[in-house]
Structure formats: C-alpha cells, structure tokens
C-alpha cells in the first residue's frame, strides 16, 4: 500500500487591533513571526506587518486583484490555496476578526475546505476607541449594558433591529455608521431614544490621529459634517458619553495631534517612533537610509581573527556594534575574542548596543561625537597602542586622524554600509500636502539622503539630534528649529515637546 503524504498549512485569522501597533496582542505577534504569507486589510499598522519575516509574502487586500481590491471570494480562495501549499497563513484583520469583519465567513470557508485554522482575537475598535476617547462603555450609575450594532444594513443579511435598540441604561456602539449617520440617529429617535441623549463620533480611534466630535442624538450628524470627519469612525450613544468631559486623556498628551516624520533607517526608526507615540504624536515613517552589508567582508574578517592584537576596539554607532557582533557569530566566535581588548563607544546608544552584548565600555565619550571619545582616550595613553574601528563605509575621519596624530596605529574596517533608501511615496506626499509638523533627523547621512531624494520639509519644522546633523541640515539649506542639548533620541523627543509647549 502506498501513502501520499500531504502536508497542509494552517490559517490564523488574527485581529490586529484598531491601528496602534501597541494594541497588537502577543499572540498576534507570534503568529506574524512565523508567517509565510500575510494577507492583510487596509489600515493595518506597518509596524505590525514588520513582525513577519522579511521573505514572507505580503498581500494587501486593497491593492491586489484585477479590479484593484480582492473580493471576499478571492480572499477565501487565496487562503485555501496557500494553506494547501503547506504555508502558514496569517489573515490579518482590523480590530477583532469576529466583530463585523466577515471573519466568520472566512472561517466557514476554511472549515468547508478542510483547512486547519485558529482564531486570534484582537482589540476591537468598539472597545478601544471609546477607551481612548475617555468614554467608559458601562458605568455603575449610567449604563448596565452595551449593544454593538452595524450602522449599515447588509444587502442580503439580517436587518439591523433599529426598533429594538432604545433600551434604558444601555450604551450603543454603531460601527460602519459614518456614511448614514443622520439616518441612523433618526431611526434611533423613531425607536424612542431621547434626542437629547449624549452621543459622539470617534474617528481613527485609539490612534494618534483620533478625532472625537461630541453632541446629542439630535445634533451630532450636523456637527460631524461641519468637522469634516473621515473614516474609519464609529458612533457611541448613551449617557456615558457625558463622562468624556472629565475623562478625556488622549488629547492631553503633550504632542497630541502633532505629526512627526521619522527619517531613520527602518530597523532603527522604532525607538524614536515609540517615544513620539507615547506622547501622542503621529510618527510618519520615511526611512531615508538603508543599512546593509559592506561590499566585502575581507577587512572585517581579517580584523576579527586578529582581535587579540588590538589594545582597543572603538565603536561609533549602534549599527556598527550590531554588524560587528553578527559577523563575529557568523565566524563562529563570541565575546571572548574581545577578552584582551578594551572598548570605547561614542554616545549612549552605542554603549547600550554594547550592553546588549553584555559588554561594558572602558572609555565612555564625554560628548556624543568622535572628539569626545578621543578626549576620553587621551589620558589613558594612546601612543604606541593599536586601535580597531569597525564602522560604516562612509564616516567622519576625525577620530582616526586624531589617534594617528597622537602616535597610535589605527585600523578602520567597514562593518556595514548605509545607502539612500527609495522614498516612500505616501509619506513624501504628506510632506508636499503640508500635513507634517516636524521632520526629525538623527544623523547627517539621513539629512543628505533626504535632500538627495529631492524632498523638502515645506511648512514642517526641522529637528536635528545634534551639531553634526544640524551642520548637514545647514549645508542642505534646511533651517533647524529644534535641537536638544544632548544628542540622544529621548532628548530629541523632549526638545520637540518643549518646542510645541512654548507659546
């Protein structure tokens, strides 16, 4: 007897939350990390997609297919086909997959095809948006039930039971309700809801673009029209809406409503973007640089095998640390290869990258530039010593020049290369439209790439992390409005905050 072995993959129907990458679940992240295929809706945060392996196939439901977008049937077919190819498929959906996202139908299609699946719940916008708007869904004194309703009648499905929604002490959350808002609210009044009941529309809830319009059932539609609200948005009706007057918190964050363009390489943008978001700003990513391996590893490899001959290894960037240790591991070596050398670092981010390798810095730079590191090394005796500088292909030569002038032997090896990235069209368009408040630069090379892409800040103010970056801005004709006293990412965010706090 012969058996045909058929390895079938699995589909994870995963909720991605309402849009803030921080509201993705740990389980969602695990699924993304092992995905071969990510089939996602629009409005999924880019950071979520970044958890998938670089080589995973990414399919944007809004951009693929003959008519531009994939139909519901296309999605069913694709999921089944990829799973039958043995792939791990993540079907990533906004909010929760089983709250008005047609996740039920997708699971039915998988069940019918005999494809194994798992449902990973997400934070639904019906819960997240009110939380970010400071509107509790229930409250001891004001509401003892919540109803989540579609504001949009399906063509061939059950009708929305409008006549039965006027329940006492109940909060109503209407999804897909912006388009027919006036009509929806009128139906509620016809059903017996008091027109003076507080009501609100929350657009892009739980994201840094959140907009909230508060009114009553009678006047909310007109207010929303005047405010020019755009989707996604939901409507919340009930006495709990009155609590927003006291509980609104998202708008009180210091950088609320500010849009800051982050020009760091994609791999490094995360920390800056996160600090900005924590303070309420929208971080618009436009990576100006890409880091990659050097054209040849020959010089770095030779240095790695001769590490015992160096008195000092000096790191000038976190990227350099990462590239150095990746290559060291690749060569079958580990930190013991550095046992005989002392270690220097320019700046706290570089020292932190070393700390992640469990290495302490012997000569921390007094200031965050090469000159500072030289000043720290000089009293320790430089003449006659051997120094290794693993770093970017193009870099300032101040440190090596100063060391050589002081009698040291210096080997500079290329550990990585930065090159200008292809500009992100959507982010660049936002600059042209004038909807960016600040363009933040964390390195001179990011400024140079930004200018080389033909981009200009327009009405946005320019923030530079430190003097070298400021000088690069000046050379590119960009006037720097914001510069922290210390050249660190947290200090840069503080400086942006101070700038906007000062009237």
Alpha-carbon distance of 137 to 183, in angstroms, equals 23
Contact between 416 and ligand SAH (CB under 6 A)? no
Show the tokens assigned to 356: 């992640």
Helix, coil or strand: residue 72: helix
Minimal CB distance residue for ligand SAH = 95
Alpha-carbon distance of 457 to 475, in angstroms, equals 15
- Applying CB under 6 A, among 124, 184, 208, 469 the residue interacting with ligand SAH is 124
Binding to ligand SAH by CB under 6 A, coded x per residue (else -) over 45-84, reads: ----------------------------------------
Query: Would you say 174 or 370 has its CB closer to ligand SAH?
Result: 174
Alpha-carbon distance of 329 to 307, in angstroms, equals 14
CA-based max dimension of the chain: 90
Compute how many residues bind ligand SAH; rule: CB under 6 A. 24
Alpha-carbon distance of 483 to 466, in angstroms, equals 6
Query: Would you say 149 or 493 has its CB closer to ligand SAH?
Result: 149
Contact between 99 and ligand SAH (CB under 6 A)? yes
* Least gap, CB of 62 to ligand SAH (angstroms): 13
Contact between 175 and ligand SAH (CB under 6 A)? yes
**Non-local CB neighbours of 18 within 8 Å, separated by 6+ positions:** 94, 95, 123, 124, 125, 128, 129, 205, 206, 207
* Least gap, CB of 135 to ligand SAH (angstroms): 12
Alpha-carbon distance of 363 to 115, in angstroms, equals 58
Query: Would you say 154 or 335 has its CB closer to ligand SAH?
Result: 154
* Least gap, CB of 386 to ligand SAH (angstroms): 57
- Applying CB under 6 A, among 48, 49, 78, 176 the residue interacting with ligand SAH is 176
Q: Quick one: which H or E segment has residue 291?
A: strand 289-292
* Least gap, CB of 81 to ligand SAH (angstroms): 24
**Segment near ligand SAH (CB under 6 A); pick from 57-65, 97-105, 186-194, 253-261:** 97-105
Binding to ligand SAH by CB under 6 A, coded x per residue (else -) over 16-45, reads: --xx--------------------------
Query: Would you say 23 or 478 has its CB closer to ligand SAH?
Result: 23
Query: Would you say 13 or 265 has its CB closer to ligand SAH?
Result: 13
Contact between 129 and ligand SAH (CB under 6 A)? yes
Alpha-carbon distance of 300 to 281, in angstroms, equals 40
Binding to ligand SAH by CB under 6 A, coded x per residue (else -) over 276-305, reads: ------------------------------
Q: Quick one: which H or E segment has residue 496?
A: helix 489-501
The residues in 223-242 that bind ligand SAH, with binding defined as CB under 6 A, are: 231-234
Show the tokens assigned to 294: 């050097």
Contact between 130 and ligand SAH (CB under 6 A)? no
DSSP 400-457: HHHHHHTT-EEEEEEEEEEEEPPP-HHHHHHHHHT--SEEEESSHHHHHHHHHTT---
**Segment near ligand SAH (CB under 6 A); pick from 98-106, 264-272, 372-380, 470-478:** 98-106
Contact between 94 and ligand SAH (CB under 6 A)? yes
* Least gap, CB of 236 to ligand SAH (angstroms): 10
Query: Would you say 206 or 446 has its CB closer to ligand SAH?
Result: 206
The residues in 180-209 that bind ligand SAH, with binding defined as CB under 6 A, are: 202, 204-207
**Non-local CB neighbours of 428 within 8 Å, separated by 6+ positions:** 286, 453, 455
98 φ, ψ (degrees, to nearest 5): -105, 10
Q: Can you give the C-alpha Rg of the chain in angstroms?
A: 28
Contact between 106 and ligand SAH (CB under 6 A)? no
* Least gap, CB of 360 to ligand SAH (angstroms): 44
Query: Would you say 129 or 321 has its CB closer to ligand SAH?
Result: 129
Alpha-carbon distance of 444 to 474, in angstroms, equals 10
Q: Quote helix, strand, coil % in the chain, to nearest 5.
A: 40, 20, 40
Classify 346 in phi/psi space as left (phi over 0), alpha (psi -120 to 50) or beta. Answer: beta
- Applying CB under 6 A, among 14, 59, 90, 96 the residue interacting with ligand SAH is 96
**Segment near ligand SAH (CB under 6 A); pick from 123-131, 185-193, 346-354, 479-487:** 123-131
Sign of torsion, CA 107 108 111 113? negative
Binding site for ligand SAH (CB under 6 A): 18-19, 93-96, 99-101, 124-126, 129, 175-176, 202, 204-207, 231-234
């Amino acid at each position: 007897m012969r058996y045909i072995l058929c390895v079938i993959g699995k589909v994870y129907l995963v909720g991605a939350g309402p849009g803030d990458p921080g509201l993705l679940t740990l389980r969602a992240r695990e699924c993304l990390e092992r995905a071969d295929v990510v089939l996602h809706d629009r409005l999924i945060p880019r950071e979520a997609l970044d958890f998938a392996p670089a080589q995973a196939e990414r399919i944007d439901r809004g951009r693929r297919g003959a008519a531009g977008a994939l139909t519901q049937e296309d999605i069913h077919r694709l999921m089944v086909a990829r799973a039958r190819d043995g792939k791990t498929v993540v079907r990533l959906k906004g909010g929760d997959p089983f709250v008005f996202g047609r996740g039920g139908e997708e699971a039915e299609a998988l069940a019918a095809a005999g494809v194994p699946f798992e449902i990973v719940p997400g934070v639904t916008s019906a819960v997240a948006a009110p939380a970010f708007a400071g509107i509790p869904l229930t409250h001891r004194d004001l509401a003892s039930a919540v109803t989540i309703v579609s504001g949009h009648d399906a063509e061939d499905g059950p009708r929305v039971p409008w006549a039965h929604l006027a329940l006492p002490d109940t909060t109503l959350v209407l999804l897909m309700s912006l388009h027919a808002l006036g009509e929806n609210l009128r139906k509620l009044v016809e059903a017996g809801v008091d027109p003076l009941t507080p009501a609100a529309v929350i657009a892009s809830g739980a994201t840094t673009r959140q907009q909230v319009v508060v009114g009553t059932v009678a006047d909310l539609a007109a207010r929303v029209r005047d405010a020019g609200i755009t989707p996604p948005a939901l409507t919340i009706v009930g006495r709990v809406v009155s609590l927003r007057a006291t509980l609104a918190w998202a708008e009180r964050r210091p950088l609320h409503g500010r849009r800051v363009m982050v020009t760091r390489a994609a791999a490094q943008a995360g920390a800056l973007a996160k600090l900005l978001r924590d303070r309420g700003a929208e971080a618009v990513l436009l990576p100006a640089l890409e880091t990659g391996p050097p054209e040849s590893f020959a010089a770095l490899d030779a240095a790695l095998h001769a590490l015992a001959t160096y008195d000092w290894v000096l790191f000038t960037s976190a990227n350099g640390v990462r590239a150095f240790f990746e290559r060291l591991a690749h060569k079958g070596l580990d930190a013991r290869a550095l046992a005989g050398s002392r270690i220097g670092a320019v700046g706290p981010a570089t020292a932190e990258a070393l700390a992640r390798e469990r290495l302490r810095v012997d000569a921390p730079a007094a200031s965050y530039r090469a000159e500072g590191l030289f000043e720290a090394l000089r009293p320790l005796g430089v003449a006659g010593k051997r120094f290794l500088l693993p770093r970017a292909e193009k870099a300032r030569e101040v440190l090596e020049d100063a060391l050589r002038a002081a009698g040291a032997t210096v080997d500079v090896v290329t550990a990585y290369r930065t090159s200008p990235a292809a500009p992100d069209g959507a982010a660049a368009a936002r600059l042209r439209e004038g909807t960016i408040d600040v363009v933040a630069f964390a390195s001179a090379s990011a400024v140079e790439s930004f200018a080389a892409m033909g981009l200009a800040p327009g009405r946005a103010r320019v923030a530079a992390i430190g003097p070298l970056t400021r000088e690069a801005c000046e050379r590119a004709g960009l006037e720097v409005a914001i510069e922290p006293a210390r050249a660190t990412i947290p200090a840069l965010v503080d400086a942006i905050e101070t700038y906007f706090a000062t009237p």
